[in-house]
């Protein structure tokens, strides 16, 4: 049984369709990418999976059980969310932020227990930032802040993470730090991940790291196609959805490893 | 009920009205206590912190029994306290007993409740609305209550309807703000704030209207003084009645305090973290409104406490609402008792609380800002 099964999902704001007839599965230890131009409905699809929006049609099943319409704490024990960027309001400490990942396990009028505290430390250790536990998260760099949000999602102890452009606004190095962290997590904990991204090379990065990776190309509120990055991310398909001329190249780093990358060339039609 | 005043010029024993030396001593030690309380909070462990937060208001209530315009010596106050608490009879003049036990004591208790309520609901709303500039009146409860009180002053000639109208209109104002904020069938924070702003300004206009039609000889000054806020009329029965919504609100907010942390992440994140945002927001709003409306209906409008005391709390104990909410409660209670004591000692006639809170609190806030560097805030 797949971990997540989305069947014939449709969603509409009032009258205009935002998503129509989307079906896909995500398995354990797999990364599923949503790739497509701005406004194609990636974030809306993620919101539907997270139970934030009411479907017009179709179903979202998690381990065979319908997720849509369940209580927030039930959903939050199955799927955790890592937001793209996060508007920081109060200078909470890292510990306090990650602790919020335990909300689904803590009763309405209760406060976190020592067990929740241990889950927090465990999550921070997994992403390698336990040293930051007592820092104020408003004073962290963008990359460290994103790691804190990943740790918060891990504290939810779910089998799946939903990430919406987790490397947006990050510098050259921290983008890679986040990617490496995600690879580690999938390898060691068997998490499944759904990630919306703007960079085809992210999908190649995971495929190059020998992680089960699939990409769905979205355009016009529907899936154009889905499959392994090396099949789907072709020069022709990228031309279709982005109208961009690209080259897909392969570069051998050492004897056993090839690195596939997409290089954008031009936006002129030729 | 104000204390009998022996300092009026027509009295022959005017020299008595100079404060006893012990009054000054009490004030000095009081200020010293508050300073250690405020600075000590930062450096101690959790259990001690909670003990201090509990002892603070109790100590303030105790000290304020000794302070007032009618000088009563420490020994007599202590004796009165002892025989009241042990239910034995006193051989002390009835007037002294009345002043200490029926005037100063309820006033101090009410001050603690009102200050605590304003501060705790301010802190909760700041978290809920993800905005540190929000105060306990953000959803219109104070202007609603102000209008209710003014209306009752126009219509009736008694105190009881003022409390009732102030409480009901305070609640009504919040309900209206909430309904305005529900346009999209959800309650996005920004729409709630907008609803609160609209309702507040409508009720502010209605307050002006009641002032305009009020009789300038007696009704108008009553309205104006009510709006400035005062604890002078405190009696036990006020505490019994208004104390119920205040206590319910306080206990509710104390119980849900950790969830305010999660709500302050914003609706979308809070829900993906597993929180029913609508229900939790509703509980916070209802509790904060009960507390604030209960406070405002007996004390009138006291500004500043609900906005700045939570900030003082943030500087001292950080932003985690698990500590901030109880700290705001305690600090608000101490602060309002202190200011009320000052208000009845400083000049010949009592200075309204709404004026003094800002005059005393402002410099204190600046001092704290300097000494804690804002606590990363």
Residue B59 counted as domain residue: no
- Percent of chain B with pLDDT strictly greater than 90: 45
State the distance between the two ends of chain B, measured CA to CA, in whole angstroms: 42
Task: Answer yes or no: do B268 and A106 touch at CB < 8 A.
Answer: no
**pLDDT-wise least confident of A14-18, B150-154, B235-239, B241-245:** A14-18
Question: pLDDT-derived band of residue B34, with 50, 70 and 90 as boundaries?
Answer: low
Residue B68 counted as domain residue: no
Residue B31 counted as domain residue: no
Q: Please tell me if residue A172 touches chain B, with a CB cutoff of 8 Å.
A: no
Q: Please tell me if residue A14 touches chain B, with a CB cutoff of 8 Å.
A: no
Domains annotated on chain A, with CATH: 1-78+158-232 (3.40.50.300), 88-157 (no CATH)
At residue B54, the pLDDT reads 86
- What is the distance between the alpha carbons of residues B152 and B167, in angstroms, rounded to a whole number? 11
Q: How far is B371 from chain A (nearest CA, A)?
A: 19
Q: Which residue of B has its CA nearest to A46?
A: B272
Q: Please tell me if residue A107 touches chain B, with a CB cutoff of 8 Å.
A: no
- Percent of chain A with pLDDT strictly greater than 90: 70
At residue B12, the pLDDT reads 40
Q: What is the mean pLDDT of chain B?
A: 85
Which residue from B255, B276, B376 is facing A136, i.e. has the nearest CB? B376
Which residue from B268, B274, B314 is facing A103, i.e. has the nearest CB? B274
Question: pLDDT-derived band of residue B312, with 50, 70 and 90 as boundaries?
Answer: confident
At residue A158, the pLDDT reads 95
Question: pLDDT-derived band of residue B11, with 50, 70 and 90 as boundaries?
Answer: very low
Question: pLDDT-derived band of residue B73, with 50, 70 and 90 as boundaries?
Answer: confident
- What is the distance between the alpha carbons of residues B195 and B175, in angstroms, rounded to a whole number? 10
DSSP annotation of B183 reads T
pLDDT at B377 over 60: no
Which residue from A72, A90, A111 is facing B271, i.e. has the nearest CB? A72
Residue B273 counted as domain residue: yes
Which residue from A71, A101, A109 is facing B273, i.e. has the nearest CB? A101
Task: Answer yes or no: do B376 and A91 touch at CB < 8 A.
Answer: yes
Candidates B130, B134, B250, B258, partner chain A, best to mutate (most A CBs within 10 A)? B258
Residue-number span of the structural domain to which B204 is assigned: 110-376
At residue B315, the pLDDT reads 83
Residue B313 counted as domain residue: yes
Q: Which residue of A has its CA nearest to B251?
A: A109
At residue B345, the pLDDT reads 80
- What is the distance between the alpha carbons of residues B101 and B97, in angstroms, rounded to a whole number? 6
Task: Answer yes or no: do B256 and A108 touch at CB < 8 A.
Answer: yes
pLDDT at A71 over 70: yes
- Kindly state the average pLDDT of the residues B214-224: 91
Q: How far is A203 from chain B (nearest CA, A)?
A: 25
Give the residue from B164, B60, B118 showing the smallest Cα distance to B310. B118
At residue B82, the pLDDT reads 87
pLDDT at B30 over 80: no
pLDDT, tens digit (0-9, with 9 covering 90-100), for A164-180: 999 888 899 999 999 99
* Domain CATH code at residue B362: 1.10.3470.10
Question: pLDDT-derived band of residue B108, with 50, 70 and 90 as boundaries?
Answer: very high
- Residue B281 token pair: 């927001």
Q: Which residue of A has its CA nearest to B123?
A: A90
At residue A110, the pLDDT reads 83
- What is the distance between the alpha carbons of residues B361 and B219, in angstroms, rounded to a whole number? 30
- Kindly state the average pLDDT of the residues B90-101: 86
pLDDT, tens digit (0-9, with 9 covering 90-100), for A237-253: 999 999 999 999 998 88
At residue B16, the pLDDT reads 45
pLDDT at B307 over 80: yes
Q: Please tell me if residue A75 touches chain B, with a CB cutoff of 8 Å.
A: yes
Bridge-based pairing state of the strands A212-219 and A30-35: parallel
Q: How far is A95 from chain B (nearest CA, A)?
A: 10
Tell me how far CA of residue A3 lies from CA of A26, A28, A79, A252, B44, in angstroms.
6, 6, 11, 34, 48
ipTM of predicted assembly, 2 dp: 0.91
pLDDT, tens digit (0-9, with 9 covering 90-100), for A86-129: 778 889 999 999 999 999 999 888 889 999 999 999 999 999 99
**How many Cβ pairs closer than 8 A exist between chain A and B?**
90
CA A18 to chain centre: 20
Candidates B256, B269, B273, partner chain A, best to mutate (most A CBs within 10 A)? B273
At residue B79, the pLDDT reads 87
Bigger pLDDT: B144 or B34? B144
Bigger pLDDT: B274 or B30? B274
Question: pLDDT-derived band of residue B39, with 50, 70 and 90 as boundaries?
Answer: low
CA dihedral A61, A65, A66, A67 (to 10 degrees): -80
Note every long-range contact of A115-121, with CB atoms under 8 Å and residues 24 or more positions apart, other chains counting.
Answer: A119/A155, A119/A157, A120/A95, A120/A151, A120/A155
User: What residues contact B21, with CB distance under 8 A and at least 6 apart?
Assistant: none
Residue B34 counted as domain residue: no
At residue B38, the pLDDT reads 59
Question: pLDDT-derived band of residue B32, with 50, 70 and 90 as boundaries?
Answer: low
At residue B33, the pLDDT reads 59
**pLDDT-wise least confident of A75-89, B159-173, B192-206, B354-368:** B354-368
- Kindly state the average pLDDT of the residues A200-205: 93
Which residue from B130, B268, B277 is facing A89, i.e. has the nearest CB? B130
Neighbours of A134 (CB within 10 A): 9
At residue B186, the pLDDT reads 66
Bigger pLDDT: B43 or B194? B194
H helix or E strand, kind and range, residue A13: strand A4-13
Task: Answer yes or no: do B273 and A76 touch at CB < 8 A.
Answer: yes
pLDDT at B14 over 50: no
Contact residues on chain B for A50, CB-CB shorter than 8 A:
271-272
Residue B46 counted as domain residue: no
pLDDT at B173 over 50: yes
pLDDT, tens digit (0-9, with 9 covering 90-100), for B237-273: 889 989 999 999 999 999 999 999 999 999 899 999 9
Question: pLDDT-derived band of residue B5, with 50, 70 and 90 as boundaries?
Answer: low
Question: pLDDT-derived band of residue B77, with 50, 70 and 90 as boundaries?
Answer: confident
H helix or E strand, kind and range, residue A244: none
Question: pLDDT-derived band of residue B114, with 50, 70 and 90 as boundaries?
Answer: very high
Residue B101 counted as domain residue: no
Candidates A68, A90, A162, partner chain B, best to mutate (most B CBs within 10 A)? A90
At residue B359, the pLDDT reads 87
- Kindly state the average pLDDT of the residues B17-38: 55
Task: Answer yes or no: do B272 and A90 touch at CB < 8 A.
Answer: no
Which residue from B259, B272, B319 is facing A81, i.e. has the nearest CB? B272
Tally the domains of chain B: 1
Alpha helices in chain A (DSSP H): 42-49, 72-76, 94-99, 114-126, 142-155, 172-189, 200-208, 229-232, 235-242
pLDDT at B124 over 50: yes
DSSP of B140-180: SHHHHHHHHHHHHHHH-SSSHHHHHHHHHHHHHHHHHHHHH
Bigger pLDDT: B287 or B20? B287
- What is the distance between the alpha carbons of residues A5 and A25, in angstroms, rounded to a whole number? 4
Bigger pLDDT: B155 or B132? B155
Q: How far is B29 from chain A (nearest CA, A)?
A: 34
Task: Answer yes or no: do B320 and A72 touch at CB < 8 A.
Answer: no
- Kindly state the average pLDDT of the residues B200-223: 94
- Residue B290 token pair: 């009960």
Task: Answer yes or no: do B275 and A80 touch at CB < 8 A.
Answer: no
Which residue from B258, B268, B318 is facing A52, i.e. has the nearest CB? B268
At residue B18, the pLDDT reads 44
- Kindly state the average pLDDT of the residues B30-55: 67
pLDDT at B57 over 60: yes
Tell me how far CA of residue B70 lies from CA of B21, B235, B352, in angstroms.
14, 18, 19
Q: What is the mean pLDDT of chain A?
A: 91
Contact residues on chain B for A158, CB-CB shorter than 8 A:
none
Q: Provide Rg for chain A, Cα atoms.
A: 19
Bigger pLDDT: A67 or A216? A216
């Amino acid at each position: 049984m797949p971990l997540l099964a989305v069947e014939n999902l449709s969603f509409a704001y009032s009258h205009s369709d935002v998503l129509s007839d989307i079906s896909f599965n995500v398995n354990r230890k797999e990364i599923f990418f949503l790739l497509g131009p701005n406004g194609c409905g990636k974030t809306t699809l993620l919101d539907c999976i997270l139970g934030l929006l009411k479907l017009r049609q179709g179903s979202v099943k998690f381990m065979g059980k319908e997720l849509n319409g369940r209580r927030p704490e039930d959903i939050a024990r199955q799927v955790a969310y890592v937001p793209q960027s996060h508007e920081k309001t109060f200078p909470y400490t890292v510990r306090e932020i990650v602790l919020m990942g335990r909300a689904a396990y803590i009763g309405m009028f209760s406060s976190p227990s020592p067990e929740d505290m241990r889950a927090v430390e465990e999550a921070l250790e997994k992403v390698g930032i336990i040293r930051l536990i007592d820092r104020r998260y408003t004073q962290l760099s963008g990359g460290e802040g994103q790691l804190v949000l990943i740790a918060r999602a891990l504290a939810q102890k779910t089998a799946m993470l939903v990430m919406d452009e987790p490397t947006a606004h990050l510098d050259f190095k921290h983008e890679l730090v986040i990617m490496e962290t995600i690879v580690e997590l999938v390898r060691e904990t068997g998490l499944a991940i759904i990630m919306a991204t703007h960079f085809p090379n992210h999908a190649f990065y995971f495929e190059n790291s020998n992680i089960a990776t699939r990409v769905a190309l979205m355009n016009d509120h529907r899936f154009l196609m889905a499959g392994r990055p090396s099949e789907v991310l072709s020069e022709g398909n990228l031309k279709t959805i982005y109208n961009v001329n690209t080259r897909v190249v392969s570069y051998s780093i050492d004897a056993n490893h090839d690195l596939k990358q997409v290089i954008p060339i031009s936006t002129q039609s030729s | 009920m104000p204390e009998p005043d022996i300092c009026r010029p027509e009295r022959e024993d005017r020299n008595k009205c100079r404060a006893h030396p012990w009054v000054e001593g009490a004030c000095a030690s009081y200020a010293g206590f508050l300073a250690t309380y405020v600075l000590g909070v930062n450096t101690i462990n959790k259990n001690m912190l909670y003990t201090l937060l509990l002892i603070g208001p109790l100590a303030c209530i105790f000290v304020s029994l000794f302070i007032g315009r009618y000088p009563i010596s420490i020994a007599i106050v202590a004796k009165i306290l002892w025989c009241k608490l042990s239910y034995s009879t006193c051989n002390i003049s009835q007037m002294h007993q009345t002043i200490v036990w029926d005037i100063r004591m309820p006033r101090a208790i009410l001050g603690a409740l009102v200050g605590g309520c304003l501060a705790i609901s301010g802190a909760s709303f700041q978290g809920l609305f993800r905005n540190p500039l929000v105060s306990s009146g953000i959803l219109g409860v104070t202007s609603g209550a102000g209008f209710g009180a003014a209306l009752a002053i126009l219509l009736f000639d008694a105190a009881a309807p003022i409390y009732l109208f102030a409480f009901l209109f305070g609640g009504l104002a919040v309900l209206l703000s909430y309904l305005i904020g529900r346009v999209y069938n959800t309650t996005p924070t920004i729409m709630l704030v907008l609803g609160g702003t609209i309702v507040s300004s409508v009720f502010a206009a209605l307050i002006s209207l009641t002032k305009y039609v009020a009789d300038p000889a007696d009704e108008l000054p009553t309205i104006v003084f009510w709006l400035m806020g005062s604890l002078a009329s405190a009696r036990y029965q006020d505490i019994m009645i208004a104390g119920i919504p205040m206590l319910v609100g306080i206990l509710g907010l104390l119980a849900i305090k950790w969830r305010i942390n999660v709500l302050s992440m914003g609706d979308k994140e809070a829900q993906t973290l597993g929180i029913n945002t609508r229900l939790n927001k509703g509980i916070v709003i209802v509790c904060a409104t009960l507390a604030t409306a209960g406070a405002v209906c007996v004390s009138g409008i006291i500004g500043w406490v609900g906005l700045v005391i939570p900030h003082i709390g943030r500087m001292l104990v950080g932003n985690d609402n698990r500590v901030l909410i109880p700290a705001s409660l305690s600090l608000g209670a101490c602060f309002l008792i202190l200011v009320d004591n000052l208000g009845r000692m400083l000049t010949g006639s009592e200075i309204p609380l709404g004026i003094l809170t800002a005059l005393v609190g402002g410099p204190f806030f600046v001092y704290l800002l300097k000494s804690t560097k804002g606590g990363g805030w």
